[in-house]
Chain A
Amino acid sequence: MPGNKEFGERIRQLREAKKKADPKFSLRQFAAAVDVSATYLSKVETGQFAPPAAETIKKMAKLLGTDADELLALAKKTDPELGNIIREQPKAMADFLRTAREKGLTAEDIQKITEKIRQGKKP
């Protein structure tokens, strides 16, 4: 399986920054905490192995105190939770996403709409 250098380097960078103050982030302890072998984690970090499953990436993000979506995007994966969200309202949600894309909404536009919804202002 082809690896992903960018993802691996990011994980290594985040882990290295944490491990200097907290030995829990040593290679083996961190690998054990996300249920993978130390060799596997090491080879993901050097880009020899492909990134792990989305669930493992989410676990990594949580421990490293970073945004799971950023890591998932680097790994070219989507949060499996998103599939569930679409399946709950398949027509409406798919329509919502497709329309956003068709209309060429930028990340900033989407962020604005999200913020409005978050503040309870239903359209």
Chain B
Amino acid sequence: MKVKYMKVEDIEAAALCLLAEYGRKFGPVEKPPVPVEEILESHLGLNLGFDDLPKMLKAPDVLGATWVRDRRVLIDQSLDPSVHTVKEGRYRFTVAHEVGHWELHRHHFLDNPAQASLFETTPEPSIVCRTSSRKDPMEWQADAFSGYLLMPKEMVFSAWKERNGSLDHYVAEKEIAGLSARWGLAEDERPAVDIARRMALDFKVSGQAMQIRLIGLGLIKTEDPGPGLFSG
């Protein structure tokens, strides 16, 4: 499905708006973790469930799916954190990703009569989220939304300040090189540094997701800009 281009600022605003709406109803969310299941189930009133999605939808890499008209979201059971505790981060990211589809894309399925009738007569989900379709614009937008919802800027800044005493950035170049060498990682695989992994525990996200957010906010730099770059 073709979706229109969205600016990242607009995606971030949509995520923050949703979090604020949840806060008005159930009490403000000031500290991590963001209650993403409660946002989906209690605030949006969607039905959440687990199933064997690769088997159900006959595709090997499905992590989540949304049935817009049925107001139903299913997550693959391999991510159930009450069975596999180490999957908590990926599970929450997937739930937030489906929330992103609901907020940003549901109107495509509700307003479009062709789509609507197609999905009304079949048990097929409106949106199927596969790891292999991450580059699709709709999937990319839902991923971005998920990051903004689980790790809101202000919450990340105050958590960083609490841990480090200031908002100064951390140059992680050496630590990343050291970790890569130790684990024998390829150059394009970037391991999560210590501070990202520790903050990930508070936000209940993966170390990778936390690190990407911290780099995006300029709190972690992967290259030392060097002293003379801006002064000279």
Contacts and interface: CB of A to CB of B under 8 A. Distances in A.
Contact of B82 (A37, A43, A45): A37
Given A23-B26, A27-B37, A37 B83 contact: yes
Contact of A39 (B38, B42, B83): B83
Contact of A42 (B26, B35, B45, B50): B50
Given A20-B42, A39-B77, A26 B82 contact: no
Given A39-B77, A39-B80, A28 B49 contact: no
Interface residues on A, range: 20 to 34
Nearest to A22: B42
Query: Which of A16, A21, A26, A32 has the most C-beta atoms of chain B within 10 angstroms of its own C-beta?
Result: A26
Contact of A23 (B42, B47, B49, B51): B42
Interface string B149-161: 0000000000000
B28 interface: no
Interface in A54-89: none
Interface in B49-92: 49-51, 77, 80-83
Nearest to A31: B82
Contacts of A23: 26, 35, 37-38, 41-42
A4 interface: no
Contacts of A45: 49
Interface of B: 26, 35, 37-38, 41-42, 45, 47-51, 77, 80-83
25 contacts: A20-B45, A21-B42, A23-B35, A23-B37, A23-B38, A25-B42, A26-B37, A26-B42, A27-B49, A28-B37, A28-B81, A29-B37, A31-B82, A37-B80, A37-B82, A38-B80, A38-B81, A38-B82, A38-B83, A39-B50, A39-B51, A39-B77, A42-B48, A42-B51, A43-B50
